[in-house]
Amino acid sequence: MSGDERRENRLEGRIDGALHLLDRQLVDSEGALLGKVDDVELTQVGTHLAITAVLTGPAALLARIGGRTGSALVEKWAQLKPAEPHRTRPWRIDMEDVDRLDSALHLSVRRDGVLRRDHEGHRLGRLTGMAVRGPDGERVGRVMDARFEPGDDGSLVLCSLMVGHGRPGSLLGYDRRGDQGPWLVRTVVRRLHRHTVIVGAEAAEIAWPESTVRLSELPSEAPDHAFG
């Protein structure tokens, strides 16, 4: 649309799920807007957890409100129309229909009839915010963000988790670069998140029913160079 920067496709590199993918605008092949990335579907493929679809619509969005309010809202959403099957199941767009990611997520197809409600998997919005416990069951913090990189088959697979204290997304990207301004905001964000650590996916076991991530070793590495 404008500028060469926007042509860059972030799906070909390493991305942070909450920072780069969640809540992005969905744009179809003709530039029409069709919703937000209200959540992201994760599927266990072999040993990897891969991004298989983006989820959109109230069923996904209301669950992201989180906690009891979130569950209650999803329930109310279903009760609005009891005759409709699978109303709590969010609409999904398969990653096959996704073209590229820049400041928006661009589809390779037109928006008409692109949404499906055929499958329900794990959600990134559940993973971020999960409690993280160490090998002896001690609380380490919460999942702040999840980092993905392209796997062998081209799909994005989970490579590491950012663990710290606070709301998912509240790192605001200041964990990725040490020089991102303005100084005032960077200093405050880094101070608030000084205990944030990064954990390799192989050291983290995700227990979806209990909403807990259990680590096989205690992490000590700060994400990238920002918290040095």
Query: What residue ranges bind another protein (CB under 8 A)?
Result: 1-3, 5-6, 10, 18, 20, 22-26, 32-36, 38, 56, 61, 64-66, 102-104, 167-169, 172-173, 177, 180-185
Shortest separation between residue 37's beta carbon and another protein, angstroms: 8
The least distance separating another protein from the CB of residue 61, rounded to whole angstroms, comes to 6
In the complex, minimum distance from the CB of residue 142 to another protein, in angstroms, rounded to a whole number: 14
Contact 220, 197 (CB under 8 A): yes
Nearer to another protein, 23 or 94 (CB): 23
Cβ-based nearer residue to another protein, 26 or 215: 26
CB of 43 to another protein, least distance (A): 23
Pick between residue 45 and residue 185 the one whose CB is nearest to another protein.
185
C-alpha angle with apex 77: 75 to 81, nearest 5 degrees? 110
Between 102 and 215, whose beta carbon lies closer to another protein? 102
User: Is residue 202 within 8 Å of 214, Cβ to Cβ?
Assistant: no
Neighbours of 109 (CB within 10 A): 16
Residue of 125, 122, 120 lying closest to 146 (CA atoms): 125
Task: Return the H-helix or E-strand segment holding 190.
Answer: helix 183-192
CA distances from 62 to 29, 116, 129 (A): 27, 18, 15
